[in-house]
Amino acid sequence: MDIFKGKTTVAEVARQHDLTVSEVESWIEEAQRNMENGFKARPKDIRGQYESDLRETKEALGEAHLQIYALKKWRRLLDEDENS
């Protein structure tokens, strides 16, 4: 936070924590992006995204269940055919 407040430099922080300047700079850039996104995102937007993700996950799970059911049935039919 001291970097954002102008109390220290990137080079000083890197030296204090045995990091490279580029590591600290990339973290600063990531923090700034996250802060910008935090101000942009509203709880309703986030909720909508979670609901959309949940719906897609449930659909994928349903499809996987159908595939498993079909494969099991196909396997039983093959086993019956081989035993006949």
Q: Which residues contact 25 (CB under 8 A, 6 or more apart)?
A: 10
Q: Which helix (H) or strand (E) holds 8?
A: none
Its pTM surpasses 0.85: no
pLDDT digits (tens, 9 = 90+) for 22-44: 999 999 998 888 887 777 667 67
Measure the CA–CA gap between 9 and 25, rounded to whole angstroms. Answer: 10
Comparing 37 with 4, the larger pLDDT belongs to 4
For the chain, how far is it from start to end, CA to CA, in angstroms?
Answer: 75
